[in-house]
Structure 1
Protein backbone atom coordinates (compact mmCIF):
# COMPACT_ATOMS: atom_id res chain seq x y z
CA UNK A 1 0.00 0.00 0.00
CA UNK A 2 1.52 3.32 -1.05
CA UNK A 3 1.74 6.30 1.23
CA UNK A 4 -0.89 8.19 -0.78
CA UNK A 5 -3.33 5.27 -0.71
CA UNK A 6 -2.86 4.75 3.04
CA UNK A 7 -3.11 8.47 3.85
CA UNK A 8 -6.28 9.04 1.84
CA UNK A 9 -7.88 5.83 3.10
CA UNK A 10 -7.21 6.87 6.71
CA UNK A 11 -8.44 10.41 6.05
CA UNK A 12 -11.70 9.21 4.51
CA UNK A 13 -12.33 6.65 7.24
CA UNK A 14 -12.06 9.44 9.83
CA UNK A 15 -15.20 11.10 8.43
CA UNK A 16 -18.41 10.58 10.46
CA UNK A 17 -19.88 7.09 9.98
CA UNK A 18 -17.47 6.25 7.11
CA UNK A 19 -17.00 2.55 6.40
CA UNK A 20 -14.81 0.53 4.09
CA UNK A 21 -16.05 -2.01 1.57
CA UNK A 22 -14.31 -4.04 -1.16
CA UNK A 23 -16.66 -4.55 -4.11
CA UNK A 24 -15.06 -5.83 -7.32
CA UNK A 25 -11.66 -5.97 -5.61
CA UNK A 26 -11.42 -2.21 -5.12
CA UNK A 27 -11.54 -0.19 -1.93
CA UNK A 28 -14.71 1.86 -1.54
CA UNK A 29 -15.28 4.25 1.34
CA UNK A 30 -18.96 4.67 2.07
CA UNK A 31 -21.30 6.62 4.29
CA UNK A 32 -24.77 5.21 4.96
CA UNK A 33 -24.17 2.63 2.23
CA UNK A 34 -23.26 5.21 -0.45
CA UNK A 35 -19.75 5.32 -1.90
CA UNK A 36 -17.96 8.66 -1.66
CA UNK A 37 -14.55 7.52 -2.92
CA UNK A 38 -13.11 4.58 -4.81
CA UNK A 39 -9.42 3.89 -4.17
CA UNK A 40 -7.30 1.47 -6.14
CA UNK A 41 -3.67 0.54 -6.43
CA UNK A 42 -2.92 -1.99 -9.14
CA UNK A 43 0.51 -2.59 -10.64
CA UNK A 44 1.85 0.53 -8.89
CA UNK A 45 -0.82 2.74 -10.46
CA UNK A 46 -2.74 4.68 -7.81
CA UNK A 47 -6.22 5.95 -8.62
CA UNK A 48 -9.15 7.49 -6.86
CA UNK A 49 -12.61 8.43 -8.03
CA UNK A 50 -14.64 11.11 -6.25
CA UNK A 51 -17.86 13.05 -6.80
CA UNK A 52 -17.11 16.75 -7.27
CA UNK A 53 -20.29 18.76 -7.84
CA UNK A 54 -18.45 22.04 -7.10
CA UNK A 55 -14.85 21.40 -8.24
CA UNK A 56 -15.43 19.18 -11.27
CA UNK A 57 -14.49 21.77 -13.91
CA UNK A 58 -11.39 22.79 -11.93
CA UNK A 59 -10.37 19.15 -11.50
CA UNK A 60 -10.62 18.47 -15.23
CA UNK A 61 -7.84 21.04 -15.83
CA UNK A 62 -5.30 18.56 -14.40
CA UNK A 63 -3.73 15.95 -16.69
CA UNK A 64 -4.28 13.24 -14.05
CA UNK A 65 -8.05 13.83 -13.83
CA UNK A 66 -10.85 12.90 -16.21
CA UNK A 67 -14.58 12.19 -16.06
CA UNK A 68 -15.21 8.77 -14.53
CA UNK A 69 -16.25 5.94 -16.79
CA UNK A 70 -19.49 3.97 -16.88
CA UNK A 71 -21.45 7.22 -17.34
CA UNK A 72 -20.55 8.46 -13.86
CA UNK A 73 -18.74 11.49 -15.29
CA UNK A 74 -22.12 12.95 -16.28
CA UNK A 75 -23.02 13.00 -12.56
CA UNK A 76 -19.86 14.82 -11.49
CA UNK A 77 -17.59 11.85 -10.74
CA UNK A 78 -13.90 12.38 -11.53
CA UNK A 79 -11.19 9.73 -11.73
CA UNK A 80 -7.60 10.65 -10.90
CA UNK A 81 -4.77 8.35 -11.98
CA UNK A 82 -1.14 8.54 -10.90
CA UNK A 83 1.66 6.50 -12.47
CA UNK A 84 4.24 4.75 -10.31
CA UNK A 85 6.50 7.35 -8.75
CA UNK A 86 4.04 10.23 -9.20
CA UNK A 87 3.19 11.97 -5.94
CA UNK A 88 -0.40 13.24 -5.68
CA UNK A 89 -1.06 16.54 -3.94
CA UNK A 90 -2.48 15.00 -0.76
CA UNK A 91 -3.95 18.29 0.51
CA UNK A 92 -5.92 18.70 -2.72
CA UNK A 93 -7.01 15.04 -2.72
CA UNK A 94 -8.16 15.35 0.92
CA UNK A 95 -10.27 18.41 0.03
CA UNK A 96 -11.81 16.47 -2.85
CA UNK A 97 -12.56 13.53 -0.55
CA UNK A 98 -14.38 15.93 1.78
CA UNK A 99 -16.34 17.46 -1.11
CA UNK A 100 -17.33 14.00 -2.31
CA UNK A 101 -18.32 12.95 1.21
CA UNK A 102 -20.55 16.03 1.55
CA UNK A 103 -22.09 15.30 -1.86
CA UNK A 104 -23.29 11.82 -0.90
CA UNK A 105 -23.67 11.93 2.90
CA UNK A 106 -26.86 13.03 4.60
CA UNK A 107 -26.68 16.80 5.20
CA UNK A 108 -26.52 16.26 8.95
CA UNK A 109 -23.32 14.21 8.64
CA UNK A 110 -21.75 16.42 5.96
CA UNK A 111 -22.19 19.42 8.25
CA UNK A 112 -19.99 17.71 10.85
CA UNK A 113 -16.87 18.14 8.72
CA UNK A 114 -14.79 21.19 9.56
CA UNK A 115 -15.10 24.12 7.15
CA UNK A 116 -11.46 23.86 6.05
CA UNK A 117 -11.91 20.29 4.77
Structure 2
Protein backbone atom coordinates (compact mmCIF):
# COMPACT_ATOMS: atom_id res chain seq x y z
CA UNK A 1 0.00 0.00 0.00
CA UNK A 2 1.39 3.42 -1.00
CA UNK A 3 2.03 5.50 2.10
CA UNK A 4 4.25 8.43 1.10
CA UNK A 5 3.31 10.99 -1.58
CA UNK A 6 6.18 9.59 -3.68
CA UNK A 7 4.83 6.05 -3.44
CA UNK A 8 1.31 7.27 -4.27
CA UNK A 9 2.64 9.18 -7.28
CA UNK A 10 4.52 6.13 -8.55
CA UNK A 11 1.44 3.95 -8.13
CA UNK A 12 -0.75 6.46 -9.99
CA UNK A 13 1.78 6.91 -12.81
CA UNK A 14 2.27 3.15 -13.19
CA UNK A 15 -1.49 2.58 -13.26
CA UNK A 16 -1.85 5.31 -15.90
CA UNK A 17 1.01 3.89 -17.98
CA UNK A 18 -0.52 0.42 -17.91
CA UNK A 19 -3.60 1.79 -19.72
CA UNK A 20 -1.49 2.27 -22.87
CA UNK A 21 -1.73 -0.53 -25.48
CA UNK A 22 0.52 -3.56 -24.91
CA UNK A 23 2.19 -2.07 -21.82
CA UNK A 24 3.61 -4.31 -19.10
CA UNK A 25 5.49 -3.63 -15.89
CA UNK A 26 8.51 -5.37 -14.48
CA UNK A 27 11.97 -4.87 -13.07
CA UNK A 28 14.22 -2.39 -14.85
CA UNK A 29 17.50 -2.81 -13.03
CA UNK A 30 17.69 -3.63 -9.36
CA UNK A 31 15.96 -2.01 -7.50
CA UNK A 32 14.20 0.09 -10.17
CA UNK A 33 10.84 -0.73 -11.70
CA UNK A 34 9.97 -0.19 -15.35
CA UNK A 35 7.15 0.11 -17.84
CA UNK A 36 7.57 -1.62 -21.18
CA UNK A 37 5.86 -1.67 -24.55
CA UNK A 38 6.71 -4.82 -26.51
CA UNK A 39 9.75 -5.42 -24.29
CA UNK A 40 11.11 -1.89 -24.86
CA UNK A 41 11.38 0.21 -21.71
CA UNK A 42 9.75 3.64 -21.79
CA UNK A 43 9.78 4.58 -18.09
CA UNK A 44 11.85 3.77 -15.02
CA UNK A 45 10.81 4.35 -11.41
CA UNK A 46 13.32 4.34 -8.56
CA UNK A 47 17.06 4.37 -7.96
CA UNK A 48 19.59 2.53 -5.84
CA UNK A 49 19.31 3.22 -2.10
CA UNK A 50 16.40 5.61 -2.64
CA UNK A 51 14.34 6.31 0.52
CA UNK A 52 10.56 5.91 0.52
CA UNK A 53 10.08 9.69 0.57
CA UNK A 54 11.96 10.22 -2.70
CA UNK A 55 11.46 9.09 -6.29
CA UNK A 56 13.58 9.16 -9.42
CA UNK A 57 11.87 8.89 -12.82
CA UNK A 58 13.52 8.35 -16.19
CA UNK A 59 11.60 8.89 -19.44
CA UNK A 60 12.33 9.57 -23.11
CA UNK A 61 11.15 13.07 -24.08
CA UNK A 62 12.03 13.85 -27.71
CA UNK A 63 9.78 16.92 -27.74
CA UNK A 64 10.28 18.49 -24.33
CA UNK A 65 13.66 17.24 -23.01
CA UNK A 66 15.37 20.58 -23.51
CA UNK A 67 12.59 22.55 -21.80
CA UNK A 68 12.40 20.01 -18.97
CA UNK A 69 16.04 20.72 -18.09
CA UNK A 70 14.95 24.08 -16.68
CA UNK A 71 12.83 22.47 -13.94
CA UNK A 72 14.43 22.35 -10.50
CA UNK A 73 13.72 18.64 -9.99
CA UNK A 74 15.24 17.51 -13.30
CA UNK A 75 18.84 16.35 -13.16
CA UNK A 76 21.26 17.80 -15.72
CA UNK A 77 21.35 15.73 -18.90
CA UNK A 78 24.74 14.35 -19.80
CA UNK A 79 26.18 11.70 -22.08
CA UNK A 80 23.84 9.03 -23.33
CA UNK A 81 20.79 10.54 -21.59
CA UNK A 82 21.28 13.88 -23.35
CA UNK A 83 22.13 12.33 -26.71
CA UNK A 84 18.95 10.22 -26.73
CA UNK A 85 16.56 12.74 -25.06
CA UNK A 86 16.04 10.80 -21.84
CA UNK A 87 15.21 12.93 -18.80
CA UNK A 88 15.95 12.03 -15.19
CA UNK A 89 13.66 13.69 -12.66
CA UNK A 90 14.39 13.37 -8.96
CA UNK A 91 11.84 14.30 -6.35
CA UNK A 92 13.16 14.55 -2.81
CA UNK A 93 11.26 14.61 0.49
CA UNK A 94 10.50 18.34 0.23
CA UNK A 95 9.31 18.29 -3.42
CA UNK A 96 5.59 18.33 -4.22
CA UNK A 97 5.49 15.35 -6.56
CA UNK A 98 1.69 15.09 -6.38
CA UNK A 99 1.46 18.68 -7.67
CA UNK A 100 3.44 17.63 -10.75
CA UNK A 101 1.38 14.55 -11.66
CA UNK A 102 -0.26 16.18 -14.69
CA UNK A 103 3.17 17.04 -16.11
CA UNK A 104 4.54 13.58 -15.33
CA UNK A 105 1.55 11.89 -16.97
CA UNK A 106 2.14 13.98 -20.09
CA UNK A 107 5.79 12.95 -20.06
CA UNK A 108 4.84 9.30 -19.59
CA UNK A 109 2.56 9.51 -22.62
CA UNK A 110 5.27 11.26 -24.67
CA UNK A 111 7.81 8.60 -23.68
CA UNK A 112 5.42 5.79 -24.63
CA UNK A 113 4.76 7.33 -28.06
CA UNK A 114 8.51 7.79 -28.62
CA UNK A 115 9.37 4.17 -27.81
CA UNK A 116 6.29 2.26 -29.00
CA UNK A 117 5.85 1.02 -32.55
CA UNK A 118 4.21 3.80 -34.57
CA UNK A 119 0.91 1.93 -34.89
CA UNK A 120 0.56 1.67 -31.10
CA UNK A 121 1.74 5.24 -30.51
CA UNK A 122 -0.93 6.58 -32.86
CA UNK A 123 -3.61 4.87 -30.76
CA UNK A 124 -3.01 7.25 -27.87
CA UNK A 125 -1.55 10.32 -29.65
Same fold (TM over 0.5): yes
Specify every segment of 5 or more residues in structure 1 that has no aligned partner in the other structure, as ranges. none
Task: Report the TM-score when normalising by structure 1.
Answer: 0.89
Q: Equivalent residue for 1:25?
A: 31
Specify every segment of 5 or more residues in structure 2 that has no aligned partner in the other structure, as ranges. none
CA RMSD after TM alignment: 1.6
C-alpha deviation, 1:68, in angstroms? 5.2
Q: Equivalent residue for 1:110?
A: 121
Structure with higher strand content: 1
Task: Report the TM-score when normalising by structure 2.
Answer: 0.83
Deviations 1:40-82 (A, max 9, x none): 1721211110000000111011011134566222100000000
**How many pairs were matched up?**
114
Q: What CA distance in whole angstroms lies between the structure 2 residues aligned with 1:87 and 1:11?
A: 19
1:6-85 alignment runs, 5 A limit? 6-22=11-27, 23-40=29-46, 42-43=50-51, 44-67=53-76, 71-85=80-94
Deviations 1:80-109 (A, max 9, x none): 000114222100000000000000000100
Segments of 4+ in structure 1 off by > 4 A?
67-70
Contact 2:69 2:76 (8 Å CA) reproduced = yes
